[in-house]
Structure 1
Amino acid sequence: MPSRILTALCLLLSVSLAQAERIKDITSIAGVRSNQLIGYGLVVGLDGTGDKAPFTTQTFRNMMAEFGITVPAGTDPKLKNVAAVSVTTDLPPFAKPGQRVDVTVSSLGNAKSLRGGQLLFTALKGADGNIYAVAQGNLVVGGLGVEGNDGSRVTINIPSVGRIPNGATVEQTVPTSFASGDSLIFNLDQPDFTTANALVDKINSMMGPGTAEALDATSVRVSAPRDTSQRVSYLAMIENLEIETGDDRAKVVINSRTGTIVMGQHVRVDPVAVTHGSMTVTINENLAVSQPNALANGSTVVVPQTSINISNGGDNRMFKFGGTVTLEEVIKAVNEIGTAPGDLMAILEAMKQAGALRAELIVI
């Protein structure tokens, strides 16, 4: 296979054979989730790289008023070392008051860089408007921006966004439904009836019949003890059980921006002919019967025999894919003639429209 094909086209064969997975790796418990928090604040101490937005000046005046200092009306503070920022974080489930979480600080105005800045006390609110954490601290900025007197500028990464490790302190706990009711619901990360059924069978075999029941392809209800300590140890045992997950649907994923194509193992092609450029590919699938002699132990089986003929150039401009062609045979055929990613995308899309590609075609 030409090396240029390997660099131009990335065909990944995703092996979808059933394999054992821990329950904790493929499910989540309903009601046990992280929560997004957001706040608005000021970063000070910048080396002349702050912003000049009007809301930054307004925020500065409001902050000074909180400390009993009045900025004369009509005066321009000319804040070169201050920037208005948004502060965001994800509050983990079961986070308790006093615990600390990381925060991300992003410029809202036209600040050139947040490097060297310090975030002032900022309240972080949830979707319900309540304050769940407060943030403050020195920023760690991975980006760098340098500007010359002639207007030339060099920027490395993004200097207008920074992080504060352990920069927020949790003030109150987000209530969950973990300790309420007689059952818990496990939600599969990837909905699948086969996997949901396997999950139910595994839990019932370990904990007794009727312990688990499938609600749909995603959710499985599991009976759980009411006592919180018993419920924790009970779930610790269940989440480490291993089950055989079901095979995923046959899919072909195309990234039109990078030229990446990913095909699942169960992709199949029905008989179809495609005209594209000057390439000619013929794939035929013949079924032969293999029958052992009378003295041999064995059984009669059907053996597929595949023949692939390839030519490039001339007046031949027709692909022919025979029935029951497998994914490996399709890839081998198109790679032998050096098909570019764009050509293969066009071929796959045309085959899907013709109803010959037995797979879900996803373009991202």
Structure 2
Amino acid sequence: MHTSHTSHKRHQFWPQAALWLLASLFVAGTVHAYRIKEVAAVEGVRSNQLTGFGLVVGLDGTGDQTTQMPYTSQGIANYLQQLGITLPAASLSQLQLKNVAAVLVTAQLPAFARPGQTIDVTVSSMGNSKSIKGGMLIATPLKGADGEVYALAQGNIVVAGAGAAAGGSKVQINHLSAGRIPGGAQVERIVPTPLLEGNSINLGLEASDFQTARRVAQAINKRFGEGSARALDGRTVKVSAPMESDARVSFIAEMEELPLEASIPSAKVVINSRTGSIVLNQAVSLGPCAIAHGNLSISISSTPVVSQPNALSTGGQTVVTEKSNIQIKQEPGILIQVPASTQLSDVVRALNALGATPQDLLAILQAIKAAGALNAELEVI
């Protein structure tokens, strides 16, 4: 009998369509027109995160195993106590609530939300519930970072999945332990914003860039008069605004629609070492260089060897051993000359000529950067 275990590291050519897709996403030298609202936002106009602990009831036997999840039974006891029903402390550990699941409820409170308005909520199981499909979330207060209650959530959960189990077999589609309630929370408290305070507002840029900050200030000054805006740094632009609320809202609405030519971003190559993804922006360029990348193959084979005693021997035993054979083969790498490339399409064509896998290309790009031939910043995520 012969058994072998072989481990190989072989090159698989990266489909050219993947790199050509990068070229289609960015066209070097092209400057797109943006609106101010797409590169900057008014400081103080922001959403707030809300969270709360809740209970989902009405499940079809797929709830938490309360003997293992004590906070589920404790949550039910607290809720019943609010309704005037008090359970003895000794009975809490004996509760078998198969139709109840403990969940965490999260929501995003948008800016300027008023009491009575509704927002969507996400419900996620925090115990060992098999499914919260078909359940209903009972009244759950949602609190902000300051501990105050800003919304109250309740409603039937929508779970985009299905599952069935019987006889030890199980089939499941999508995730059954989390769902959403559209419009499931009602706002109870206003979050104050500094939008109407003072005689000016600050614009915060999405990315820190001095050129973009200067162009935003220039566009506002051109429309509303010199001195209306000034860039404080690479991310903040201070703008003089009317004091009256109606006039300020109209001013901001008109200001955000002003056209703006965004500057070309700094050259950057983003590498995801876990997935092998590589993204290049339009400003990346290559200097002339030469690259050689070899192929390494490791083969390990294991062959059983049976040793038997002689026919007339006494006390002999049959012994099975293994004979291992390890071979390492390194193929020579071909030296490839990469010409200087000033446009993204040329960079993609040059990298495509290497015929390397995404994982190998990660190492190649880092080596090109170390050699000074890659005119871009490498960012590994």
Is the shorter-chain TM-score for this pair beyond 0.5, marking a shared fold?
Answer: yes
Counterpart AA for 1:138: N
- Which residue number in structure 1 is paired with residue 376 of structure 2? 359
Aligned residue among 8, 12, 16 for 1:6: 16
Counterpart AA for 1:33: R
Relative contact order, higher structure (CA 8 A, sep 6+): 2
- Which residue number in structure 2 is paired with residue 43 of structure 1? 56
Higher mean C-alpha deviation, range 3-12 or range 49-58: 3-12
Matched, 1:71 2:87: yes
Q: Deviations over 1:32-60 (max 9, x none)?
A: 00000011111100000000211101111
Identity of aligned residues (%): 51
Higher mean C-alpha deviation, range 191-200 or range 15-24: 15-24
Q: How many angstroms does 1:72 deviate by?
A: 3.2
- Which residue number in structure 1 is paired with residue 171 of structure 2? 154
- Which residue number in structure 2 is paired with residue 144 of structure 1? 162
Check conservation: 1:112, 1:145, Cα contact below 8 A: no
Q: How many angstroms does 1:324 deviate by?
A: 5.8
Q: Deviations over 1:152-203 (max 9, x none)?
A: 3222111010111110000111000001011001111122111111111111
How does 1:283-298 map onto structure 2 within 5 Å?
none
Check conservation: 1:10, 1:261, Cα contact below 8 A: no
Counterpart AA for 2:153: A
Q: How many angstroms does 1:265 deviate by?
A: 2.5
- For 2:197 and 2:61, the matched residues in 1 are separated by 54
Q: How many angstroms does 1:66 deviate by?
A: 1.4
What is the TM-score when the length of structure 1 is the normalising length?
0.84
Partner SS, residue 135 of structure 1: strand
Aligned residue among 253, 260, 273 for 2:270: 253
Residues 170, 89 of structure 1: CA spacing in aligned structure 2 closer, same or farther, 3 A cutoff? same
- For 1:253 and 1:262, the matched residues in 2 are separated by 5
- For 2:109 and 2:332, the matched residues in 1 are separated by 65
Check conservation: 2:62, 2:131, Cα contact below 8 A: yes
- For 1:316 and 1:70, the matched residues in 2 are separated by 78
Counterpart AA for 1:12: L
How does 1:22-61 map onto structure 2 within 5 Å?
22-52=35-65, 53-61=69-77
Check conservation: 1:8, 1:341, Cα contact below 8 A: no
Aligned residue among 345, 357, 362 for 1:345: 362
Q: Deviations over 1:67-114 (max 9, x none)?
A: 121223323120000011111100000000110001001111111100
Check conservation: 1:100, 1:170, Cα contact below 8 A: yes
Counterpart AA for 2:27: V
Matched, 1:84 2:99: no
Aligned residue among 181, 190, 196 for 1:173: 190
Check conservation: 1:11, 1:260, Cα contact below 8 A: no
Residues 277, 121 of structure 1: CA spacing in aligned structure 2 closer, same or farther, 3 A cutoff? same
Displaced runs of 4 or more, over 6 A: none
What is the TM-score when the length of structure 2 is the normalising length?
0.81
How does 1:208-357 map onto structure 2 within 5 Å?
208-277=225-294, 317-323=334-340, 326-336=343-353, 338-357=355-374
Q: How many angstroms does 1:208 deviate by?
A: 0.6
Residues 4, 191 of structure 1: CA spacing in aligned structure 2 closer, same or farther, 3 A cutoff? closer
Check conservation: 1:253, 1:263, Cα contact below 8 A: yes
Partner SS, residue 220 of structure 1: strand
Aligned residue among 15, 24, 31 for 1:18: 31
Aligned residue among 102, 108, 114 for 2:126: 108
Q: How many angstroms does 1:148 deviate by?
A: 2.0
What number of residue pairs does the alignment pair up?
A: 328
Q: How many angstroms does 1:326 deviate by?
A: 4.8
Aligned residue among 106, 129, 152 for 2:147: 129
Q: Which has the larger radius of gyration?
A: 2
Counterpart AA for 2:38: D
- Which runs of 5 or more structure 2 residues have no equivalent in the other structure? 1-11, 296-330
Counterpart AA for 2:164: V
Q: Deviations over 1:99-132 (max 9, x none)?
A: 0001001111111100110110110100001111
Counterpart AA for 1:184: I
Partner SS, residue 194 of structure 2: coil
Counterpart AA for 1:15: V
Residues 317, 128 of structure 1: CA spacing in aligned structure 2 closer, same or farther, 3 A cutoff? same
Q: How many angstroms does 1:273 deviate by?
A: 2.9
Partner SS, residue 195 of structure 2: coil
- Which residue number in structure 1 is paired with residue 210 of structure 2? 193
- For 2:76 and 2:333, the matched residues in 1 are separated by 74
Counterpart AA for 1:203: I
Counterpart AA for 1:48: G
